[in-house]
Amino acid sequence: MQQPKTRFAPSPTGLLHVGNAYSALICQAWSKSKRAGLLLRIEDIDFTRCRSEFTEAIFQDLDWLGLKWPEPVRIQSEHFDDYRRAIEHLRELGVIYPCFCTRKSIEAEIQRIGLAPHAEEATAIYPGICRNLDVDEQSQRMLSNPFAWRLDIEKAMTLMARPLQWHDESGAAHPANIDHDVVIGRKDISFSYHLSVVVDDALQNISHIIRGQDLEASTGIHRLLQNLLDLPEPTYIHHGLLETLNGERLAKRNCSTTLRSLKELGVKPEKLKQFLLDVENPVWPFAPDDHDQIIRQLA
Ligand code: GLU
């Protein structure tokens, strides 16, 4: 039997924060307890948000935290050809279609058919505007208009021999629901996170995918893509998210405490690890400027 293997796959869109550290430590603890491999992968396909200095910072901050990973690290921006090949495969299967819509045109259509009462809810559900364009019109528009690739969920589901599911570590099956034709090829680079992640997990022989509950909604899409692309099924573990005392999830956009700032305050990585992993559902009780408290408890 192959050695089990997991991965930690951050996107370098900013400095890692304690929520990311929590996820990385869960991957590390799992891999130690199972004598499994742990890879680091840099998911930097979104060049509008990712920066190489944040990639460098990820290596340094994870090293400080005590993570070990084999080299070379897979950096997604160096492998665009792999993802484009997968898009070609899906095109040959006839399960993706070019979508010329803009945010505005999707919102307008959703309002028109009364699918969502508020404009801000629009675009969450794609109403299928470009799903049934005829082939000539598609080819014509592809010559001069930017387009995304969308997965035709209904068509793709007809190719499934069995109901779509994902399995957790206990072997329990979970239904994998997908509610609309998701984008799997962005307008700028012709593939998306959903596609690159399933291609890489297969190429790197990842047997267990450990990631936050916030990504559980993507697991159905990933299982569908794995089936369409003939890729193996990994086991999924969705861990709870580290939250603030107010029950808010820690994220880059709400200015969570970064690992860099903890290191600068003299926090000991071992103490941080204990703090985060010793209870089942930990809470991060410190505000980023709560220096005294942080130093008292973790330095
Ligand atoms: N790169 C993703 C993120 O930083 C994680 C992807 C995954 O674990 O599947 O949120």
Q: 29 exposed, middle or buried (CB, 10 Å; 0-12, 13-18, 19+)? A: middle
More confident residue, 279 or 294: 294
The reported pTM is 0.94
Domain ranges of the chain: 5-77+200-298, 81-185
Dihedral of alpha carbons 57, 214, 151, 111, sign: negative
Q: Which atom of ligand 1 is nearest to the CA of 10?
A: 4
What Rg value do the Cα atoms of the chain yield, rounded?
A: 21
Res 91: pLDDT? 97
Taking the centre of ligand 1 as the mean of its atom positions, its distance from the CA of residue 127, in whole angstroms, is 27
Res 125: pLDDT? 83
- Predicted confidence band of residue 2 (pLDDT cuts 50, 70, 90): confident
197 C-beta closer than 6 A to ligand 1 = yes
Kindly give the pairing relationship between strand 283-284 and strand 243-244: parallel
241 C-beta closer than 6 A to ligand 1 = no
58 C-beta closer than 6 A to ligand 1 = no
Residue range 142-165: average pLDDT? 96
Tell me what percent of the residues of the chain surpass a pLDDT of 70: 95
Retrieve residue 211's tokens.
């990631």
Res 281: pLDDT? 83
pLDDT tens digit string along 109-152?
A: 888 887 655 555 555 789 999 999 999 999 999 999 999 999 99
Res 215: pLDDT? 95
Within 8 A by CB and 6+ apart from 172, the residues are none
Residue range 17-44: average pLDDT? 97
**H or E segment at 165?**
strand 165-167
| pLDDT exceeds 90 at position 51 | yes
10 C-beta closer than 6 A to ligand 1 = yes
- CATH code at 81-185: 3.90.800.10
Res 141: pLDDT? 97
What residue's CA is closest to ligand 1, atom 6?
9
Dihedral of alpha carbons 96, 102, 106, 109, sign: negative
Taking the centre of ligand 1 as the mean of its atom positions, its distance from the CA of residue 215, in whole angstroms, is 8
pLDDT tens digit string along 207-254?
A: 999 999 999 999 999 999 999 999 999 999 999 999 988 888 887 666
108 C-beta closer than 6 A to ligand 1 = no
Domain 5-77+200-298 superfamily per CATH: HUPs (3.40.50.620)
- Predicted confidence band of residue 155 (pLDDT cuts 50, 70, 90): very high
Res 279: pLDDT? 87
Taking the centre of ligand 1 as the mean of its atom positions, its distance from the CA of residue 11, in whole angstroms, is 7
227 C-beta closer than 6 A to ligand 1 = no
Q: Which residue out of 16, 41, 197, 206 has the highest number of ligand 1 atoms within 8 Å of its CB and is therefore the one to mutate?
A: 197
Tell me what percent of the residues of the chain surpass a pLDDT of 90: 85
**Alpha helix positions (H), 165-246:** 193-203, 216-228
